[in-house]
Amino acid sequence: MRGWSFPLGKVLGVEVRIHTFFVLLLGLSIAESGTVGGSAGRGFLLWMALLLAIAVREIARAMMAAYFGMELKGVLLLPIGGLLAFGTSATMDSAGGRRAEKAIAMVGPAANFAMAALMAALIYGASSQVTVMERPFMTPLHLVRSLLWIQVAMGAIHLIPAYPLDAGRVLRAELARTKGSIEALRTAARVGMVLALLLIAAGVVFFHSAWVVMAGFFVLMGAQMEEQGHGLQSVVDTVTMRDIMLTDFATLSASDTYDDAMTKSIHALQEDFPVVRGNSLVGVVSRAAILDALGRDGNGYVQGIMQKDFQAATPEDTLSRVFRSMTTGRTLELVPVVDAERVVGIVTLQNLKQAMGLFAEQRRLRSRERDE
């Protein structure tokens, strides 16, 4: 979600980010407007028309996801549409998950075509002088006509069965019935990449259009991003804390003084520590908090500054549950792993990210060995 993109803010708790290439497309739109005698403002409005078409489809898809009980966490805006990131979602290995995937996919083009029909009705009803069917359909010199046809084009491009376009998502859901979610994703992504390359070639050889070439490029990029993202998702949904937790770690006692705690932390690589009373976990505290309290108040006891409201896990909890716990805005980046009230391991944000990458790479290599 974060590579080559920057945030636009949050809408109803959903992080909205825009890809850098989408912003570069604004420059291209303004430049093209100048070549046909239009102003920079018209080029900007044409770009906004594309953003509106994407907003229409992504709002419709988000509403459909909410209908199926899927927790939307973020949207990455690309010129071909948005990539949705979910905190929780139905698995493609279940009939309900496949049904949700297809419904979310189909509602995107339907929303664009419905908006186009509404715009056409408004145009014909308000002014019969607007030539909707005149070429070029999308031009900065005729923004009203462009508004309509950009909606049509956005819906039409997603009827191409190239993952991650909507028709490609329907293909993936159908493949998951027999191949399973991971293999279905890999197959759909490969089909999407091939079709994207064909689209790029067609743009160069037949259409001589930079826009067609860019559409193919964004489909190719989206397919790669989705494949990588779902590869990591398959890891976090199946790997447990027992597989990933650090077992060589240090703890602090609630009765330790700040000086004692700092002395112990010098000999540990951790930034955050479980705090115990006897064998029971009672809190967590960071090295930074100890150092801050020591400088501000002089010596004291760890129990006075430890955080009592914290997330703990069991060895059998999945990585996805713990990852969500560690990214809810809490200041500490530590999850203690507890078995029968005894701390048996810890998971830090640093080792979590490293382990996710290693597990994903391990599965990719194993998959390649099976193919060979």
Q: Which two tokens stand for residue 215?
A: 């559409």
Sign of CA dihedral 95, 97, 98, 99: positive
Average pLDDT of the residues of the chain: 83
Summarize the confidence of residues 299-313 as an average pLDDT: 88
Give residue-wise pLDDT tens across range 21-52: 888 888 888 887 877 777 888 889 989 999 99
Mean pLDDT of the region 47-59: 93
Cβ proximity of 180 and 97 under 8 Å: no
Chain segment 72-131, per-residue pLDDT in tens: 888 989 888 888 888 655 555 577 788 898 999 999 999 999 999 999 988 888 766 777
Q: What is the dihedral angle through the alpha carbons of 340, 328, 81, 32, rounded to the nearest 10 degrees? A: -150
pLDDT band with cut points at 50, 70 and 90 for residue 241: confident
Q: Nearest-CA neighbor of 231 among 97, 361, 365?
A: 361
Mean of the pLDDT values across residues 147-157?
92
pLDDT at 73: 86
Whether residue 151 contacts residue 116, with contact meaning beta carbons closer than 8 Å, is answered with yes
Per-residue pLDDT at 233: 61
Q: Cα–Cα distance between 84 and 72 in angstroms, integer?
A: 7
d(CA 218, CA 225): 10
pLDDT score for 208: 75
Percent above pLDDT 70 for the chain: 86
> How confident is the model at residue 230, as a pLDDT?
63
All domains in the chain, ordered by first residue: 5-235 (no CATH), 242-357 (3.10.580.10)
Note the pLDDT tens digit of each residue in 313-337. 889 888 766 666 555 444 457 889 9
Mean pLDDT in residue range 196-201: 90
Confidence of residue 368 (pLDDT cuts 50, 70, 90): low
Weakest-pLDDT range from 2-11, 167-176, 279-288, 333-342: 2-11
CA dist., res. 352 & res. 355, Å (int): 5
Both tokens assigned to 154: 């956005």
Torsion, CA 175, CA 177, CA 179, CA 185, rounded to 10? 50
User: What is the b/e burial string over 350-370, where b = at least 16 CB atoms within 10 angstroms of the residue's CB?
Assistant: eebeebbeebbeebeeeeeee
State percent of the chain over pLDDT 90: 27
- Name the residue with tokens 């390649």: 368
Q: According to the model, what pLDDT value does residue 112 have?
A: 96
Q: What tens digit of pLDDT does each residue of 266-280 get?
A: 888 788 899 999 888
